[in-house]
Amino acid sequence: MKYSFLNKILVSGKVNLLPKFILRKIKKKYKIYFVPTHLKHLPINNCPIPSTAAAQESIIQNFNTTKELVSFHTCPYLLQLLTLIFNKKEKFNFLDFGGENIDFYLYLKKNFKNVNYYIINQGEINQNFIYLKSKYNLENFTIIQNLNELSNYNFDFINFGSVLQYIENYNDVLEKIIEVSKKYIFFSATHFYDKNTALSKNIVVKQTNALPEKIFCYFFEFESFIKKFYDNKFKLVFKEKNKTDDNIHYKNFENLLENTNYTDVLIVKSI
């Protein structure tokens, strides 16, 4: 009953009228990150632009000092995973779908000299990267402006770092990704569940740990999600719990969903 009540409060458009100390107490005690909604689609302009060219230049400066990742990443073991797949001298095409920070490119180039790095994001973020590429003469660094441009390339490894659930046309994205993928596709920090009592293939939830920001995302039903790849000659390599945030739980979804998890999924195209 308490979670049902909290869901109704937190999903309400009036939640930001609550005194801030009450919101802080709710967050601290119950650690509710997401609540179910009745929405069928994500709202327009759902995700705020999180960065600027100046912020990215600061990341470059910090990386040049530390030679290590500076910003938060949803998969701390991604480099180790790539090392298991690719030889450090090997040439391969890496697509960072929704990549936001320049330090991952720098870190990748430090460890794989011959990697070709591609990135696609929202227009304003793409413009930041175009500026950085020109100013810092970034090598083997390609900014892709829209989904259709992906057809000009193919990729050995495609990385979705906690991004797919924030994309309204995610089905179009997946169809295009399947088309241009040569081998591996990786989804990190993505919300999957095993069963939905509403018999829907996904649900839209409100992200409440970011209040007062209004952010919404999808939770995906895993069986229908992975079937799209099975039908296109991919197979599952692993499905593991993402461990970047141990506070995430789904207790307030227990009457709606089964076995919901913050998940990393690696799939590979069968030869």
Reported as a single tens digit per residue, the pLDDT across 180-238 is 999 999 999 999 999 766 556 789 999 988 777 789 999 999 999 999 999 999 999 99
The CA distance from 160 to 102, in Å, is: 15
DSSP secondary structure letters along 33-83: -EEE-S-SSPPTT-SPP---HHHHHHHHHHHHHH-S--S--S-TTHHHHHH
pLDDT, one tens digit per residue, over 211-221 is: 777 899 999 99
With cut-offs at 50, 70 and 90, classify the pLDDT of residue 17.
confident
- The superfamily in CATH containing domain 2-269 is Vaccinia Virus protein VP39 (3.40.50.150)
Contact of 105 with 119, CB cutoff 8 Å: yes
pLDDT at 29: 84
Beta strand 181-193 with 257-258: parallel, antiparallel or unpaired?
unpaired
pLDDT, one tens digit per residue, over 28-66 is: 788 889 999 999 999 988 877 778 999 999 999 999 999
3-state secondary structure 216-254: EEEEEEHHHHHHHHHCCCEEEEEEEECCCCCCCCCHHHC
pLDDT, one tens digit per residue, over 62-104 is: 999 999 999 989 999 999 999 999 999 999 999 999 999 999 9
Contact of 187 with 265, CB cutoff 8 Å: yes
| 14: pLDDT strictly greater than 60 | yes
CA angle 43, 47, 48 (to 5 degrees): 130
Please state the pTM of the whole predicted model. 0.92
